[in-house]
Structure 1
């Protein structure tokens, strides 16, 4: 049985991040899907690709050799898929606005790919709060925005969701709630809470807390995701945040665990926005089509269906 494009992508993501959990966040899929894909690859190749450690995945010698081959295969596939676009030799300029979370945790890798695919496409970037981005789109100061579309409720804007990132409970290692199969917001309300405020995270959190008739015991409000990470990892509190900003280690090297909540907490949806009924320029269409291909193609639809 031949291995699949999907299995190669999951293997490469795990090799690059050194963590199944990080690979799953990067790919927007479940950890079990990544683990299964690697196990299937190892069974087909009849070699061990990784040595499993409590703190991560380390490539074996065979794994390192296979990684080089996997890079070549994926590059060839991507080249074949993008031949038509490369031949267009598109040239133009695009002004893109993005919010803090998008700029810090999502957009850079895609900007790198776009620069490689379209070297004559000049992208001018602006990082701003959502309200300023919306005003700028309507005034046509920006061509397109990448933002948390779940926060946008403006009929004058056209929205196109890209990905949906689940929110989970963040806990320090060995916290008592880790043994709970699915903690409730009532369980979380008994714990000191670290509240992220950037990109309207606090307003979003208080909405679903309010719908449950509860309030968190906020110990700290901060605009820094790294501060949340460190406070949680050091046992100073817990938090509920999306998989997009999750990393399993704090700057001090302490572990952060995540668990699913019993209640349905709304995911963080990220998407594109532009002025409704405005003419879609070739540059906007190219930018939009790039993300459609990355996340809305049959392959991406499959992985979104497996999203945690």
Structure 2
């Protein structure tokens, strides 16, 4: 028996979701397929990766150690499968702005790849709030931006969506809500709620709460994702945030579970933005082409296969 990429993906999904059933839903496969893949992986490694209980699965010490290696392998595989098809000859200088969430949870990996594929492009990077980014794009102070596209308001700014990151309910491990078969915003309205405010996350949240005529029981408003993560993991409240910023463990090593909601909670959309009718430089074309090949073309290919 040999290790497969499929086994690693199923293992990571179960580790992050904390329940085989939720991993199966996330992967759109049968629960038995996830269970079999994990058991085969444990047999191959000769160790138990999970402690099973009626509430779900928790990583063993060996499982946590193996999870880090699994992440590294899957990142390498994804990178190999999504290499930009470029000759790397573009050059020049480009000024790129990003908001806090993009800079912290999305951009560094791609900056490393861009430096490899376009060594002759000099990238000047800035971190600003959305309103400042829009103004600086409009007056030409920056060339492009990577932002949360749904938040854009400036009439002279155009955008191209790259990623739609699902927003899910964050719960402490073994929270009673985690055992409900179905969950809606109404089910969690009275629960203590931790509201993230950075990158206008609170405004985005109130759009989907308001659409249902509901209001969360906010006990803390914070600009820190790590604060939300720690508060939830320690059982002090719940939250709804995107998969982009989700990590299964808090800084204290406590687990955070996620659940999808039956109500429509729009995903967090992330993409490129630039001034309308701007003249693209070779560097701008190269940056846009990189992200299109990394995200849009693979999505189109998947759609064709479906």
> What interval of TM-score do these two structures reach, taking the shorter chain for normalisation?
0.7 to 0.9
Which whole-Å CA distance do the structure 1 matches of 2:182 and 2:114 have between them? Answer: 40
Give 1:31 shift: 4.1
| C-alpha distance in 2 between matches for 1:304 and 1:194 | 40
CA distance in 1, matches of 2:237, 2:304: 31
Task: Give the Å deviation of 1:65.
Answer: 11
Cα distance per residue 1:201-253 (max 9 Å; x no partner): 11111121112111111110000000000001111111111111111111111
**1:172 CA drift (Å):** 0.6
Runs (4+) of structure 1 moved beyond 3 Å? 7-15, 17-22, 29-43, 47-52, 54-59, 63-78, 298-301, 303-306
Tell me whether 1:48 sits opposite 2:44 in the alignment.
yes
Deviations 1:26-62 (A, max 9, x none): xxx934569969977998x9x8369532444968xxx
1:293–1:232: structure 2 CA closer, same or farther, 3 Å change rule?
same
Return closer, same or farther for 1:67/1:243 CA change in 2, 3 Å cut-off.
closer
Equivalent pair of 1:94/1:124 in contact (CA under 8 Å):
yes
Cα 1:115–1:303 shift into 2, 3 Å: farther
Per the alignment, in what secondary structure is the counterpart of residue 161 of structure 1?
Answer: strand
Q: Which consecutive residues of structure 2, in runs of 5 or more, have no partner in the other structure?
A: 19-24, 51-56
Q: Distance in 1 between matches of 2:74 and 2:192?
A: 45
The alpha carbon displacement at 1:122 in A equals 0.9
Is 2:209 the counterpart of 1:209? Answer: yes
Give the CA RMSD over aligned residues.
4.0
Following the alignment from structure 2 to structure 1, what is the Cα–Cα distance between the partners of residues 197 and 164?
A: 20
Residue 151 of structure 1, CA deviation: 0.9
* Residues 88 and 119 in structure 2, CA contact (< 8 A), matched pair in contact too: no
| Residue 26 of structure 2: aligned partner | 30
Mapping of residues 1-308 of structure 1, within 5 Å = 8=5, 11=8, 19=15, 30-32=26-28, 48=44, 52-53=49-50, 54-56=57-59, 82=84, 85=86, 87-298=87-298, 301-302=301-302
CA contact (8 A) 2:171 2:257 kept: yes
State the alpha-carbon separation in 2 of the partners of residues 169 and 123 from structure 1: 36
- Is the Cα contact below 8 Å between 1:231 and 1:237 reproduced in 2? yes
Give the 3 Å change call, closer, same or farther, for CA 145–34 of structure 1 in structure 2. Answer: farther
User: 1:195, 1:70 → 2: CA distance?
Assistant: 32
Q: Structure 2 CA distance, aligned partners of 1:75 and 1:210? A: 39
Equivalent pairs, count:
288
- Greater mean deviation of Cα atoms: 178-187 or 109-118: 178-187
Residue 297 of structure 1 aligns to a residue in which SS? helix
Whether the 8 Å contact between 2:90 and 2:121 is mirrored in structure 1 is yes
1:72-112 deviation line (CA, Å, top 9, x unaligned): 9877766xx55x62x44322111000000000010010001
Q: Is the 8 A contact 2:183 2:260 kept in 1?
A: yes
Rounded to whole Å, the distance in 1 between the matches of 2:17 and 2:77 is 24
Contact 1:20-1:34 at 8 Å conserved across structures:
no
> d(CA) in 2 for partners of 1:70 and 1:198?
30
Distance in 1 (alpha carbons) for counterparts of 2:190 and 2:16: 31
Quick one: structure 1 residues 42 and 201, their matched pair in 2 at CA, closer, same or farther if it must change by over 3 Å?
A: same
SS of residue paired to 2:49:
strand
CA contact (8 A) 1:10 1:34 kept: no
TM-superposed deviation, 1:168 = 0.8
What is the TM-score with the length of structure 1 in the denominator? 0.79
Residue 147 of structure 1 aligns to a residue whose secondary structure is strand
Deviates more, 1:236-245 or 1:67-76: 67-76
Distance 1:253 1:118, change over 3 A: same
